[in-house]
Structure 1
Amino acid sequence: MGLRDRIQKVEAEISSASMADIAFLLIIFFMVTAVFSATKGLDFKLPSDDEQQSTEEQEAIFFKVLEDGTFLMDKRPATLDEIRDYVVPKLERWPDKPIIIYARPEAPYEALVGIYDELVKLAKPPENGGYGLLTKPPNISIPTQSEINEYVALFGVNPFEQD
């Protein structure tokens, strides 16, 4: 049993004398690498002076159905037959141009449906009862009274009642 007594236990020690040197080297390393990885800016391809870009406004096409069943198309009196000739050139240029149909509360429902049907027919193929003049259906929006009330509450003005 004397053998066990002779084995000395070795204590594990980590010398902390060089810890400060290692810490300073790491700080310098991260400072140098941070400078190299900093974003210098974004590359943009700016248009040249001779390139012209169209900046025309793309306002919505606006229909307002009145109490007597007639309607205004962009503030001008119109008939159902005039919708196609007015709307198609605008939608060919801007296919996603919004179309807003606003019917006064007292307006007959048939007038609203007539305008909507005429607009939907623009993209329907002729074999389905349409005209087939557009490649995609128009972006038609019919605001509800609650949406109009929210707009008036936010902005203090009803855009559908202005002339």
Structure 2
Amino acid sequence: MGLERRSKVEVRIPTASMADIAFLLLIFFMVSTTFVRYRGLPVELPRARKIKRIETRRNLVYIWITKDGKICVNDILTELNSLEEMMSRRMRENPRTIVSLRADEEVPYGKVSEVLQVLRRAGALRVNFATRRKQG
């Protein structure tokens, strides 16, 4: 009596699609990972929910800060120490004055912060940060 021999079936794991799976996992983790660029103080930036038009031009004071750090108020070049007196006088004349602050994008925020502190001491609490519209 002869025993029938069964042929052994080779058990193999198909590795042809292994590279595809590895690349898909790599892409998934690259897309879902958040990259931290800047480490510093945790700051929550303001968001504009709605745009409001400024009432009138006579209530408006433009302050420009150039990338060199020069301050210009309504086309008059001024220093930081004389800005407080100028704005205090303007606020006494018209307490509804709105300041439109236009700082160059390369100005360090420390300079903008100094101007904001001077405006606060002068009583100019209504400050508008002017920006450019995004093209496209």
On the 8 A contact 1:98/1:139 being kept in 2, the answer is yes
Equivalent pairs: percent with the same residue?
A: 11
Rounded Cα–Cα distance in structure 2 between residues aligned with 1:120 and 1:87: 10
On the 8 A contact 2:66/2:107 being kept in 1, the answer is yes
On the 8 A contact 1:100/1:140 being kept in 2, the answer is yes
By relative contact order (CA 8 Å, sep 6+), the higher-ranking structure is 2
Aligned to 2:128: 141
On the 8 A contact 1:68/1:107 being kept in 2, the answer is yes
> Structure 2 counterpart of 1:117, which letter?
Q
Aligned to 1:93: 93
Q: Deviations over 1:83-127 (max 9, x none)?
A: 12211121112111111111111122221111101111224xxxx
Aligned residues: 80
On the 8 A contact 1:83/1:118 being kept in 2, the answer is yes
- Structure 1's consecutive aligned runs of 4 or more residues displaced over 4 angstroms after TM superposition are none
SS at match of 2:107: coil
RMSD of aligned residue pairs (Cα, Å): 2.2
Larger radius of gyration: 1
Aligned to 1:17: none
Q: TM-score, normalised by structure 2?
A: 0.51
Unaligned runs of 5+ in 2: 1-56
Rounded Cα–Cα distance in structure 1 between residues aligned with 2:83 and 2:114: 11
On the 8 A contact 2:91/2:122 being kept in 1, the answer is no
Rounded Cα–Cα distance in structure 2 between residues aligned with 1:116 and 1:80: 11
Task: Confirm or deny that 1:75 pairs with 2:75.
Answer: yes
Q: CA deviation at 1:64?
A: 0.6
Aligned to 1:46: none
Q: Deviations over 1:16-47 (max 9, x none)?
A: xxxxxxxxxxxxxxxxxxxxxxxxxxxxxxxx
> Structure 2 counterpart of 1:96, which letter?
R
Q: TM-score, normalised by structure 1?
A: 0.43
